[in-house]
Structure 1
Amino acid sequence: MRTLVQRRVWGPLVAFGVCAAVVLLAQVPYLRNRVFYVWDDSAVQFMPTWHHLGQRLLDGDWPPLLDVDGWMGGNLPAEALFGIWNPVNLGNYILVSRFDDLGLAALVVKSEILALLALGVYLVCREHGAGRGPSAVIAIALPFSGFTLYFDTSSWIAGLMAFAWLPYTWWAARRAARGASSPLWAILFGALAVTTGNPYGLLGVCVVLAALLVENWLRRDRAAMLKLVLIGGLVAMFVPLVYLPLLGTSSVTARAGQGFASDGILMPRLSDLLSMSMPSHRPMIRTFSLDYRLHTPGVYFTWFLVPLLPWLHWRRLRERWRELSGVLVVLTAYVLLAIGPSNMWMFRFPLRHLEVVYLAIGVLFAVAFTGGPRFDHVRRRVAATVAAVLLSGYLSFAAQPWQWRQHVTAFALLAVGVAVSVALARFVRPQATYAALVAGVGAALFLQMSWFPVNLDVAGYGFPKSVKELKAQAPPHEGTTFPVGTVLPGNVGLVTDLKSTGSYSGMSFREFATATCMNYKGTTCAASFQQILSPTAVDGRALVDLLRVGTILVQNDVLPDVQAPPGWHIADRTATHTALRRDQPLPWPGGRLSHASPGVRVTSDVSPDDRDETVKFTKDRGQSGSVVFARLAWPGYRAELNGRELATRQGPAGLLVVDLPADAETGELTIRWTPPGLGLGVGLALAGLLGALAYAVISRRRPRRDRTVPAAEAPQDLAVANA
């Protein structure tokens, strides 16, 4: 009875302590660098878009499917990575929208996700039979490993959100397979991983479920395998909702880096893992700037892992290899993914896989370290530790000898830290060792923030974090703005009410990008100025008119001394930008209609929201015509004239064009956009949810075989570690 009470009390307390420790440590990067969490893609894509989407959600726009002013970046279902079907994502978007300081908003949300990740790591370690202490230590250390902190957390937050749900899926699916909990949890966590929209989340779910199938096949547990197949099938029913819109737009878009290639960018080597415990080590890995080494400790895991390898209970791993076979499968699969090739379909930059490698290694470490270090053959273990620390230190010194002071400091942390930790376990108690290991995690983080306060391997953008400041510093504009060069980087304009044709997008609308000389960051070249002013095949109208552009904002160092073309005037000229505006306002201000053929008389144009528009017109019978909209012709548009369906097509720069039949004299043309596959995706997702509920009810009526960790997985002789 006392043991049961201890479990029910200590379990939640330790889990809470893990989350609290991670939240506390997450403040260190922010205190050292107030824009650490608003860096690279987080600065120009995620945080501004989250703020914007949160405002739209508060205005009742759910789900936010299309942002026509976002142009290439406005097709949110096709972008996928914003996870508009994930309820946790949506809640965070609303939370971010309540902040003026995007740096502070990023700190709050990313601290939350790091704590969420840590709790999942703790649970999956415990599920594999590790004690509370080692599980907590690994759970606190993993969120601050090199790639997870400097890349996913600082920059690529979509990857962090996908990774955060993976250990929960693993934990819940394994428990469901052995009958210890309802399969509903595994399905829901798997669905959350999938609906983040990041393909690495889907990949992780597939690998974990496959690993659990192997584990239960080795156990010859067919019932568990059947459960896992059912869980995987129900999770798979959420995949079309997320990825059908992306596949449905592939005919008009292009994504960089698709296919199979190996250019070496962010591609680690197996030898890099030898230095996973050196906080100062910068591995020799090619970067985006084609530099030959990272500027950050990208392969760092945690300071204590390598030094403590000689002190682990290795026999426990050998004896329980069947129970841990799933971990070994995950480890093997992700090691192979991590070492390349660098491009495999939608998966680029193999360094991204390293955090799952460390998750699997962390589980094995927690199991082998349960009960504290071993103390037989102490001299041999001391010698092995000294050799491991010296080797790690030498490899770091060999890679960057000019940073020898950092390496000496890191070496001292490893040497002193492991000596203190082992001594505490020998002469005090194991719990004191775990506290020392966590303190070392904090010390290593402090050192890294002193040495590497920013991630110079990705782009940094120097703009204010305050939404009010961004609005105050936004360039002058009227209506839709076309940038020549850069106006505001990426999607920053979304928080300043700047309706720019440029946006940060994971994909490019091919015709639009070519016609405007625009890259995925929303930046254009000098030639774009003449391209948008040149006549098009649509009655000789200039592209700038078909786009309904009200302001052309020219970056002076891209196109110096620009002169106003006919119909335009220079409204403002600063040291950095020149703003040109129209002499006359555009027609049809109520919608996005930009051109009607001669003879087509438009009486009204109304666009109540981004997905719908209605045009009323008259024309002579027998005369054909067409109308052009300042909308990209994403697949999914449907046009009707008086209830009669009409075809849509692409016009100049991929704009939406509807041809009017010759026999129509008057009518009401309506257009509506629905993402490709949305109906099928929603239907399958609802069916998957209902199936999950039904499966949970059915499984509850059956007797559960085992509600605890299997006896082979619970080291009874190490009960002190579980206290």
Structure 2
Amino acid sequence: MSVAISSVGATVPTGEPTDPRDLEQGARPKGQVLWPVIAVVVTVLVAASRVLVTPAFYFADDTQTGTAGQWWRLGGDLLSGQLPVLDPHAWTAGNYLAEGQWGLYNPVIWVIAICTRLSDDPVAAITTVKILALGAMCLGSYLLARSFDASRPWSAAAGVLVPLGGFTVYMDAPSWTTGLLNVAVLPWAWWALRRLVEQGRGPLPYLLTTSVLVTFGYIFGVIVLIVVLGESLIRAAVQRDRRRILTVLAAGGFAALLTVTVYLPGVLTAPVTIRNSSAIVNSGFLNADLTDVLAASTATVTASIHSWGTEATTAPLMYVLWALPALTFFRPSRQLQLRLIPLLIVGSVLLLTVTAPDQIGPIRWPVRFIPYLVLVVVVGFAAIASEGRRARSPRAALAGAMAILAGASWVSAVNTPWEWRQVAIAGLVQAVGLTALWFVVFRAVPKRIPVRSVSALIAAGIGVILVAPQLYFFPATPLPRLPVQNDTSAMNAVPGGVTDDVIVVGNIYAGWQGAATYAERLVANQWYFSHATVSSLYTVLPYRTYVTDLCADLRGATCAKALDTLMSIDSHTRTQVATLLGVNSILVMKDSFPKGLPALPTGWRVADDEAYTWTLSRDRPIPTAGGVAWTSAATRVETIAESSTGITLRVDEIGPSPEVVLSRLAWPGYSVAGAQLADSTRGYLLTLDMSSAKVGDTITLQFRAPGWTVEMISLAIAVAALLAWPIASAVLRRRATSRLRAKAATP
């Protein structure tokens, strides 16, 4: 085995074995590139095949209503030379640093956002991004499997099989984009950590991959990384390996610094949002029980996971690996069992999490950890199969595998009896595949044929074959796919003839399946494509009192009473609520008003009466959100400067109880010089107490994300580590090499 010089001068294994497994066909120099290339090509082709059946397969639900508009907006801001930190016009959706998932610190997201902005077809652009992400997931899984000493053919098989996990295919890939990107990068980060800690190699791959992973802003991948780091630290401590302990601590410290930067704004903002919860709740929504786990080897079974409007989500979310019963074929050596301890520990934690309550504080829906469990199981299987120590009794091994298959199929059929055909088809394909694997592993084949290469090809091949019945029974995600317009120019023109700012009133989900309705309205973050400034956007951090006042949900839908609220007079300011919000136009969903539009107050008119919506407009437009909405009696201020993150006012008059209400949400992080922050009006509008001000004074209001100083210090230290650690490691490595050469040259 070759060796390398660690960053502290010790010689450690490089992890590049020279054992008989690598003398197979796949280990020749060209095979070192050929196997992973084949795996990535197969993954991309399989991913693309889903588009042939369902053209918008990767453009559903949260991708339509969240990601697409988000990337469009971010790309536009980047092209204009800025990052969006806060947008008063977006109201509850406008606190972008607290949202986290905008990826404002992530260069990969920057590139994707710019490409999306430059594309006229968001479906094609986002589909391309997602297929490339699946390719990256494949290659990362290959590298991780190699780090656990899986052979190249079996590592390639793992690369093909991991992206075929049911949750990845039917939830993350079509809808939850940040989830997909997390799962694509996590194996790279884990491989890079093992390379750094176990092999003593340079830190740059770990620093880069971890930076990308954490700054996506999706907590699930970060939690898995924490588990991986914790396992590495405990194992190093048990073995009393000082170098590895220090290395893991340094690696964890780097990830922690970035985590503080990305997530602290959301944590400190949570108290004013609906996410401020520490409750542990199990309503059975999107969590799995032990019978669902038994569906892990069946590619066409839905299990019994309850979700939106159904007791059994119509997709094989629990599918992990068709070949799981084939574990009976192998007898891992003691040495291999020790190597697989990290996978065993991480996998056990993930399994417990997947079957946990569906809400643990702010963490919802633990089935979102399934793709990481798929990664652990498939990589472990590849390592076991690569060693190739066969079970002592071939017949017992085959009988055991078939018994497991039969038992799992029976439980699946009992859970969802209406799917017996799907269970039977998948079981038949699995039985054929298991028999083929058994024959290759236990029966004589020509010596010139590398057994492990053939078995790996069978494992990957059956996994790919099972895509066909999947596509037949489940051609698309069970999540909603809105028949929206797919070109940006069409969305730019919706709605027509409005004056900013605009708010949507009514149930945006009513009639969502009607394609014609999208000529008059958009949904959630699709409004970022509009030429108008619309506040009814998507947010993961709804401001509690604001959404309560307007009975709004996180995608911008409201109840019909929201119109009454907007037209009502605020009791404190004696001003219309719509005026306090800087609203000039209201887009009303007709389905929410079956008895017709109520009478409008003076100053408002119906500007447009279309098939599905009414557009209400003011007779005289007012200033939009972000500025002064109201001042108390005998108090007058003049706006000197205004930006998305602040405003500067000059005091012209001071009344007896001077107050200024701004058309901004009172997010944590605002500070004011020359006045004081007062209790917010209506529980959410930023209000200034001017009692300490004098005529002629300048009042400066500024927003910085809460914890800003700590976040920027953390980011600065992380960037410094990213630059300095690889250089220091290379210098120490070079010195250690020089000492070894000098010692070897001494007679």
TM-score by length of 1: 0.90
Alignment map for 1:385-400 (pairs within 5 Å):
385-400=401-416
Cα 1:365–1:571 change in 2 (3 A) is same
AA paired with 1:34? P
Q: What is residue 450 of structure 1 aligned with on the other side?
A: 472
Give 1:592's match in structure 2, choosing from 616, 627, 638.
627
Q: What is residue 519 of structure 1 aligned with on the other side?
A: 553
Q: What is residue 296 of structure 2 aligned with on the other side?
A: 276
Cα 1:351–1:510 change in 2 (3 A) is same
Q: Alignment partner of 2:315: what SS?
A: coil
Q: What is residue 247 of structure 2 aligned with on the other side?
A: 227
1:17, distance to aligned residue in structure 2 (A): 2.7
Q: Alignment partner of 1:652: what SS?
A: coil
AA paired with 1:277? S
Alignment partners' CA distance in 1, 2:736 and 2:439: 38
Q: Does 1:613 align with 2:647?
A: yes
Alignment map for 1:202-601 (pairs within 5 Å):
202-255=222-275, 258-289=278-309, 291-306=310-325, 308-312=326-330, 314-316=331-333, 318-370=334-386, 374=390, 377-423=393-439, 427=445, 428-430=449-451, 431-456=453-478, 458-474=479-495, 476-485=497-506, 486=508, 487-560=521-594, 561-562=596-597, 563-586=599-622, 588=623, 592-601=627-636
Alignment partners' CA distance in 1, 2:235 and 2:496: 59
Structure 1 contact 66–611 (Cα < 8 Å) conserved: yes
Cα 1:476–1:387 change in 2 (3 A) is farther
Q: What is residue 192 of structure 1 aligned with on the other side?
A: 212
1:547, distance to aligned residue in structure 2 (A): 0.8
Structure 1 contact 130–367 (Cα < 8 Å) conserved: yes
Structure 2 contact 675–699 (Cα < 8 Å) conserved: no
Q: What is residue 167 of structure 1 aligned with on the other side?
A: 187
Q: Does 1:31 align with 2:52?
A: yes
AA paired with 2:632? S
Alignment partners' CA distance in 2, 1:292 and 1:663: 61
AA paired with 1:404? W
694-703 vs 172-181, greater mean Cα deviation: 694-703
Q: Alignment partner of 2:337: what SS?
A: coil
Alignment partners' CA distance in 1, 2:409 and 2:31: 38
Q: Does 1:43 align with 2:64?
A: yes
Structure 1 contact 372–433 (Cα < 8 Å) conserved: no
Q: Alignment partner of 1:461: what SS?
A: coil
Q: Alignment partner of 1:544: what SS?
A: helix
Cα 1:533–1:653 change in 2 (3 A) is farther
Structure 1 contact 597–625 (Cα < 8 Å) conserved: yes
Q: What is residue 700 of structure 1 aligned with on the other side?
A: 730
Alignment partners' CA distance in 1, 2:560 and 2:421: 47
Alignment partners' CA distance in 2, 1:145 and 1:705: 46
1:116, distance to aligned residue in structure 2 (A): 1.7
Cα 1:582–1:414 change in 2 (3 A) is same
AA paired with 2:563? F
1:605, distance to aligned residue in structure 2 (A): 5.7
AA paired with 2:474? F
Alignment partners' CA distance in 2, 1:223 and 1:371: 29
Alignment partners' CA distance in 2, 1:496 and 1:542: 26
The runs of 5 or more residues in structure 2 that have no matched partner are: 3-17, 509-520, 738-747
TM-score by length of 2: 0.87
1:599, distance to aligned residue in structure 2 (A): 3.4
Q: Alignment partner of 1:508: what SS?
A: coil
1:622, distance to aligned residue in structure 2 (A): 6.1
AA paired with 1:593? V
1:539, distance to aligned residue in structure 2 (A): 3.2
Give 1:627's match in structure 2, choosing from 656, 660, 665.
660
Name the count of aligned residue pairs: 695
After superposition, what is the alpha-carbon deviation per residue over 1:107-127, rounded to whole angstroms, capped at 9, x for unaligned? 111112212222221111110
Give 2:141's match in structure 1, choosing from 98, 121, 145.
121
RMSD: 2.8
Report % sequence identity. Answer: 27
1:385, distance to aligned residue in structure 2 (A): 3.0
Structure 1 contact 590–605 (Cα < 8 Å) conserved: no
Q: What is residue 5 of structure 2 aligned with on the other side?
A: none
1:6, distance to aligned residue in structure 2 (A): 5.5
Q: Alignment partner of 2:660: what SS?
A: strand
447-456 vs 198-207, greater mean Cα deviation: 447-456
Q: Does 1:102 align with 2:137?
A: no
223-232 vs 689-698, greater mean Cα deviation: 689-698
Q: Alignment partner of 1:580: what SS?
A: strand
Alignment map for 1:28-177 (pairs within 5 Å):
28-62=49-83, 64-177=84-197
Structure 1 contact 261–343 (Cα < 8 Å) conserved: yes
Alignment partners' CA distance in 2, 1:390 and 1:662: 78
Q: What is residue 715 of structure 1 aligned with on the other side?
A: none
Alignment partners' CA distance in 2, 1:603 and 1:232: 50
Structure 2 contact 315–477 (Cα < 8 Å) conserved: yes
Alignment partners' CA distance in 2, 1:222 and 1:12: 35
Structure 1 contact 215–323 (Cα < 8 Å) conserved: no
1:451, distance to aligned residue in structure 2 (A): 0.9
Alignment map for 1:639-718 (pairs within 5 Å):
639-640=672-673, 644=674, 646-647=676-677, 649-652=679-682, 654-661=684-691, 664-702=694-732
173-182 vs 46-55, greater mean Cα deviation: 173-182
Cα 1:648–1:94 change in 2 (3 A) is farther
AA paired with 2:464? G
Q: Alignment partner of 2:585: what SS?
A: strand
Cα 1:336–1:539 change in 2 (3 A) is closer
1:32, distance to aligned residue in structure 2 (A): 1.6
1:150, distance to aligned residue in structure 2 (A): 1.1
